[in-house]
Chains A and B, each alone.
Chain A
């Protein structure tokens, strides 16, 4: 059973990780999709994604589709493990 992860514990990052963890393996979410879903501003989402990327929990991929720039965000295996451990730790607090 894991321990609470201080990086994921932050409320906004917890919601970002929950959203990304709910996607199927190999699925990527558009930056704008996450922003609208979580009701965040561009700047706020960028800052938190950068921290999660530095920790190796998310992958950020910038690409052009036609002439439109797109930013795709996905959770990494390490991010999945860290999130699962965090959820386990929350469950441990509740059931102990």
Chain B
């Protein structure tokens, strides 16, 4: 075998590996899509009906857990790639959420904008890390964009931060999720 043939084989291997990972991870777009819908509903409630925001978030989080659990079970049954990653991913998010709550308590975050920013940055960190673990540049970039958008809105349009997060943050996650679900190699 000569050098060019070896180069060709390595190129083929890289392409197939990339395509397989992309196809295998396509279903994770559903979870990002669901998260986007939760953000849209929750932050919209924060902005327009702050007196009901707590209840709305409680309902949204409960609904989100049920929707994600149901989606996870359905996808596991239908999926083309059987994975054992669901449990570690679930516990990763639980630990990250606990860490964010602890930070909020330690630093006495006491208004909806500060709490919102903390929750968004924790979620963005989660996306970046999950993207790094699964070598999905798309998920990592989504996390970075969400964080950049949140920090920008916090300083530039603090009065409309919650609405911006509902529309831009939620919209970005919904768009990103749809792109992942629909993208074909």
The residue in chain A whose Cβ has the minimal distance to the Cβ of B82 is A28
Chain B residues touching A, majority SS: helix
Known: A23-B20, A33-B23, A72-B82. A18 touches B6 (CB 8 A): no
Main secondary structure of the interface of A (DSSP, over half): helix
Query: What's the Cα separation between A17 and B18 when bound, in Å?
Result: 13
Question: How far is B23's CA from A4's CA once the two chains are assembled, in angstroms?
Answer: 28
Distance in angstroms between the alpha carbons of A22 and B81 in the assembled complex: 12
* Residue B85 interfacial (CB < 8 Å): yes
Chain B proximity of A83: nearest CB distance (Å)? 9
Contacts of A45 in B (CB 8 A): none
| CB-nearest residue of chain B to A27 | B83
Q: Does A24 interact with chain B (Cβ within 8 Å)? A: yes
Assuming the A-B contacts A14-B9, A27-B81, A90-B10, are A21 and B17 also in contact, with contact meaning beta carbons closer than 8 angstroms in the complex? Answer: yes
Q: How far is the CA of A33 from the CA of B23 in the complex (A)?
A: 9
- Provide the bound-state CA to CA distance between A11 and B82, in Å: 25
Question: Would you call B10 and A14 a contact (CB within 8 A)?
Answer: no
Partner-A contacts on B (CB < 8 A): 1-3, 6-7, 9-10, 12-13, 16-21, 23-24, 77, 79-85, 134, 185
Could you write out 18 A-B pairs with CB less than 8 Å apart?
A9-B1, A14-B13, A18-B13, A22-B21, A23-B20, A24-B83, A27-B24, A27-B81, A27-B83, A30-B82, A33-B80, A37-B185, A38-B16, A65-B77, A72-B82, A87-B13, A90-B13, A93-B1
**Top 4 nearest A-B pairs by Cβ distance?**
A33-B80, A22-B17, A93-B6, A18-B16
Chain A contact residues, CB within 8 Å of chain B: 4, 9, 11, 14-15, 18-19, 21-24, 26-30, 32-33, 37-38, 65, 72, 87, 90-91, 93-94
